[in-house]
A = this chain, B = another copy of it.
Amino acid sequence: MNPFADSMEKLTVDLGDRSYPILIGDNLIRTAARHIHPILTGNKIVVVSDENVAPLWLEPFLGSFEGQGLSIETVILPATESTKSIAHLQRLITEILDFSIDRKTTLIALGGGVIGDITGFAAAILLRGIDFIQVPTTLLAQVDSSVGGKTGINTSHGKNLVGAFHQPKLVLADTAALSTLAKRELLAGYAEVVKYGLIDDFEFFEWCETNARALIDGDKSARRYAVLKSCQAKARIVTADERETGQRALLNLGHTFGHAFEAEAGYDGRLLHGEAVSVGCVQAFELSTRLGLCASQDTIRVQKHFSQVGLRASLLGLVNINWTVEKLIGHMQKDKKSEDGKINLILARGIGKSFVANDVALAEIETLLRKALADAQI
């Protein structure tokens, strides 16, 4: 009898010969080897983690491999967004090459989105591509960044401007890891959970409204269900459009606004990515309402849900005199999804009814942002 079988969910991201399973459950880190060992092609793994996660989870993770005769190396990176830089990538690559890896070596990312993104990118470019496995330890990473194969680093020009599509061989989402997260970080990840309901699943948004409190307070089955539904939604969209030529852009709901807010806030921890997404989603719905696309009660309902769970739903207390509409527009025009200076947005005809909008007038976006900045200074 497998004592964990009853609490484990499994789904598959179906991408032909790049397909891979996602396992979701409690204690997957302590039992990682049983899932990882069978899919290794060689006998060497390199585990990449960060200074926050390693003290908590590296030993349980490595313990599961004891006595299996593998060659195991570890690299511990600083636990900040600035780790996703070309300087850290260069150091990471050099350290990994120091281990005399070959094409059968597997990299394992044990940590949040930063660790997953930089480790996945290192796997994408080392020896022109080696295997990697995601073991996401934050809610944000479990429901978003560990699934779908987007990897990358930031440059002085913006976030994720350098990277690759490189699918993992396996994702192990251990809900036990969520119990060690700060509440603010958990909430930031929850913003991405809600996003899936907003995109195309009204019922799931209703589930969120009903179960958010239990999830946030630590209910394991609520957490497992939220991660499962989020991964299913992301897997479905990624399967339909792996390289983001069309519908995958829906995953960007709230993100074009959100990235602009993050860039202006300066990545110093005052505005977490998930918080930028919750504010961004509210802005996307407000713009949809302003354009006559979406009933105002839907927009109010979205804003209310974020506020009720304790998530940021506006820029209140964040902006200062240096924030201008022009600068925000500049960030949005530099977004990877924008082309020829035109801003591509995800808008909505209601909760669960989002769509790609390529033809929004710049003046409408400016008016919206002017109001958001004015409201934030009240």
Closest chain B residue, CB of each to CB of A342? B102
B-facing mask of A112-130, CB < 8 A → 1, else 0?
A: 0000000001001111110
Q: How far is the CB of A157 from chain B (nearest CB, A)?
A: 4
Tell me if B336 and A163 are in contact (CB < 8 A): no
Query: Does A104 touch B at the CB level, under 8 Å?
Result: yes
Residues of chain A from 121 to 171 with CB closer than 8 A to chain B in the complex: 121, 124-129, 150, 152, 155-157, 160-165
Tell me if B339 and A164 are in contact (CB < 8 A): no
Tell me if A42 and B340 are in contact (CB < 8 A): yes
- Report the bound CA distance from A150 to B338 in whole Å: 28
Residues of chain A from 196 to 239 with CB closer than 8 A to chain B in the complex: none
With known contacts A155-B97, A156-B94, A164–B129 Cβ distance under 8 A: yes
A103's partner among B94, B126, B334, B336 (CB-CB below 8 A) is B336
Query: Does A93 touch B at the CB level, under 8 Å?
Result: yes
Tell me if B128 and A152 are in contact (CB < 8 A): yes
Tell me if A102 and B165 are in contact (CB < 8 A): no
Tell me if A339 and B125 are in contact (CB < 8 A): no
Tell me if B163 and A125 are in contact (CB < 8 A): yes
With known contacts A128-B152, A155-B97, A104–B161 Cβ distance under 8 A: no
Q: How far is the CB of A239 from chain B (nearest CB, A)?
A: 17
Residues of chain A from 299 to 352 with CB closer than 8 A to chain B in the complex: 334, 336-340
A128's partner among B157, B165, B340 (CB-CB below 8 A) is B165
With known contacts A155-B94, A155-B97, A164-B164, A42–B339 Cβ distance under 8 A: yes
Tell me if A127 and B336 are in contact (CB < 8 A): yes
Query: Does A80 touch B at the CB level, under 8 Å?
Result: no
By size class, the interface of chain A is 35 or more
Tell me if B164 and A125 are in contact (CB < 8 A): yes
With known contacts A90-B86, A155-B94, A126–B338 Cβ distance under 8 A: no
Query: Among A125, A164, A165, which residue has the most Cβ atoms of chain B within 10 A?
Result: A125
Query: Does A100 touch B at the CB level, under 8 Å?
Result: yes
B-facing mask of A68-104, CB < 8 A → 1, else 0?
A: 0000000000000000001000100110011010111
- Report the bound CA distance from A162 to B162 in whole Å: 14
With known contacts A94-B155, A97-B157, A129–B336 Cβ distance under 8 A: no
- Report the bound CA distance from A214 to B243 in whole Å: 47
Which 8 A-B pairs have CB atoms at the shortest separation, nearest pair first? A97-B157, A128-B163, A102-B339, A127-B336, A125-B162, A86-B90, A104-B339, A128-B164
Sample (21) of A-B pairs whose CB atoms are under 8 Å apart? A42-B339, A42-B340, A43-B340, A86-B93, A93-B155, A93-B162, A94-B156, A97-B161, A100-B334, A102-B336, A102-B338, A102-B340, A103-B339, A121-B125, A125-B125, A125-B162, A126-B161, A128-B160, A128-B165, A129-B164, A129-B165
- On A, residues with C-beta under 8 Å from B are 42-43, 86, 90, 93-94, 97-98, 100, 102-104, 121, 124-129, 150, 152, 155-157, 160-165, 243, 334, 336-340
